[in-house]
Structure 1
Amino acid sequence: MASYSPKYFKMSVASEGVLLVEINRPPANAFSEAAWEELGATFQKIGEDGSVRVVVLASTNPRIWSGGIDLASFATFTNDSTGPSDPARHALYSKRYVTRFQAAISAIENCLHPVIAAVNGAAPGLSIDIMTAADIRYASSDARFSIRETVLGMAADIGTLARFPKVVGNESLARELALTGRNFTAEEALSIGLVSKIVPGTRDDVIKAALETAKQIAKNSPIAVAGTKHLMLHARDHSVQENLDYTATWNAAMLMGPDTSIAYKGTRKGGPPPVFPPLEKLSGKL
């Protein structure tokens, strides 16, 4: 795998093809501008690394997954006196800032490889933006969540309002949680579909469960896995027929690779398990 040296994230290879990325900004893993910029840049680099097959996004903090936005950083932006002075130009300045922020979080969704969020402890505000950009979400039994932005006097603008209603499939409940800003537990998160599994225990337990799932995914064809993620995102944002047409075109190209043949041979009784070429050996520099 390529070398990474981010300041606010701890990186380690958990197993072959599985990269563990842990939010690491003490004391509360809150995101300053530098931290979210680094998040976006890191996931862009990960997506270009063909030796990675799955990413687990976790926290180094046993009590907090992420404290959300760093309020000191947010106050600096809202009180910024270096921007344009008139309202119209300042609005364009602010929009550019928010758009950059959105793109940094969307880098998780746009990453070529699937991302599993292993959430423990407190996960308010920006945590929901980050979680809903991931492909799979697990929670430890001590996890607790909230869409906190209305409590802070603003509408969530980094991805929660776009993704959360689609994830949970319940507009009424999505609006209740977004409008009230109330806390909800791991059990409620599971019941509404925000997470697909509650892991009894705390941080270490949910990371272990996420890594086990990541290992299962990493055994599969990286072409098939990357294609499945891409096509499911396309399906979310397009009609059924548009996705069927797009998928037919996609697979017309992807099925020309060796992975389907390798997978078929690997299913033969008594045969060795399939071993798929890493992405960089198929396409050179990604």
Structure 2
Amino acid sequence: MGHSCFNLTIEDGIAHIRFSRPDKFNSFIPEFWRELPEAVNNVSDNAEARVIVLSAEGKHFTAGMDISVFMSGALDAPPANREVAAEAFRYNVKSLQDTFSALENARQPVLAAVQGGAVGAGVDLISACDCRYASKDAFFCVQETAIGMTADVGTFPRLTKIIPEGWARQMSYTAERLPATKAKEIGLVNEVYETPEELLENVMKIAKRIAGHAPLAIAGCKKLINYSRDHTTEDTLDYIALWNAAMFRTEDIKESYISKSENREPQYDDLAPVKKGI
């Protein structure tokens, strides 16, 4: 299946989504908001890969929301009544939010490799990923403030749980560009690499290492880390006990030890496809 804004390849357990509109700084046109969640949900639901990597072609990771989204009426609500229009607008925004929530809800870890700018909705996107990495030229900007709006597709509920609240506030209030080195210092990115080429090479190495572990264990890690972020320690400990009571797989543990003794790569079962609906 072709996509308007990115290319998707799956190899060695890694689904690589590469934004492919470098001449437009990989801005997010209306098609993007439909195609990205469809692609991510398909990989997740059908267990087509063990890890997802997001990267981009060209100078910048993404310039964020394309002006066409505003100009095309994609966010407009038809009724003239202000309150009725506002109610419909809310649902339009929620559909955009679902695009990035698909990354957070995917059963597989999602790694973002950022070169150049991650601007506006780009910060919303990377905030929904599991891990973020950057090249030395990268910068991050909550640009919405500078154009007279409040970021609304994911930055605030996620960014404040990734970096210190004071920095989330400063980025949001000032719309300043946060350079890669500072982003690493405050925990927004895990690592900074000299060049975009070195960045992608190393992120793929990390993805390959993740793909080599038992998919069920990795899925459990992601689910429980997300759960612990949003719940108390007591609730999370109880949920972890329940999770392992249901999904503790001794076969995977045996395989990890046997493969080491036989000096070979372990062979684990993939996750099962998820059947939705009847």
Task: Using the TM superposition, give the Cα deviation of residue 78 of structure 1 relative to its aligned residue in structure 2, in angstroms.
Answer: 7.9
1:273 paired with 2:265, answer yes
1:122 paired with 2:114, answer no
The amino acid across from 2:234 in the alignment is: Q
Task: Using the TM superposition, give the Cα deviation of residue 50 of structure 1 relative to its aligned residue in structure 2, in angstroms.
Answer: 1.7
Task: Using the TM superposition, give the Cα deviation of residue 253 of structure 1 relative to its aligned residue in structure 2, in angstroms.
Answer: 1.2
Q: Is the 8 A contact 1:132 1:160 kept in 2?
A: yes
Match among 141, 147, 154 for residue 146 of structure 1: 141
Task: Using the TM superposition, give the Cα deviation of residue 274 of structure 1 relative to its aligned residue in structure 2, in angstroms.
Answer: 1.6
Q: Which residue of 1 aligns with 2:95?
A: 100
Q: 1:49, 1:157 → 2: CA distance?
A: 30
**Unpaired runs of at least 5, structure 2:** none
Q: Is the 8 A contact 2:146 2:175 kept in 1?
A: yes
Q: Which residue of 2 aligns with 1:172?
A: 166
The amino acid across from 1:274 in the alignment is: P
State how 1:137-286 maps to structure 2 within 5 Å. 137-168=132-163, 170-202=164-196, 204-256=197-249, 258-268=251-261, 270-280=262-272
The amino acid across from 1:273 in the alignment is: E
Say which is worse superposed, 107-116 or 66-75, in terms of deviation: 66-75
Deviations 1:192-239 (A, max 9, x none): 11000001112x221111100000011100000111011100000000
Q: Which residue of 2 aligns with 1:41?
A: 38
Deviations 1:121-169 (A, max 9, x none): 111111100001000100001111111111111111000011001001x
Q: Which residue of 2 aligns with 1:73?
A: 69
State how 1:80-95 maps to structure 2 within 5 Å. 80=76, 83-95=78-90
Q: Is the 8 A contact 2:115 2:134 kept in 1?
A: yes
Task: Using the TM superposition, give the Cα deviation of residue 33 of structure 1 relative to its aligned residue in structure 2, in angstroms.
Answer: 2.1
The amino acid across from 1:104 in the alignment is: T
Task: Using the TM superposition, give the Cα deviation of residue 49 of structure 1 relative to its aligned residue in structure 2, in angstroms.
Answer: 2.6
Q: Is the 8 A contact 2:75 2:93 kept in 1?
A: no
Q: 1:21, 1:76 → 2: CA distance?
A: 26
Q: 1:8, 1:102 → 2: CA distance?
A: 18
TM-score by length of 2: 0.93
Q: 1:116 to 1:219 in 2, by over 3 A?
A: same
1:57 paired with 2:54, answer yes
**Unpaired runs of at least 5, structure 1:** none
Q: 1:110, 1:12 → 2: CA distance?
A: 20
TM-score by length of 1: 0.91
Task: Using the TM superposition, give the Cα deviation of residue 24 of structure 1 relative to its aligned residue in structure 2, in angstroms.
Answer: 1.6
Q: 2:218, 2:15 → 1: CA distance?
A: 15
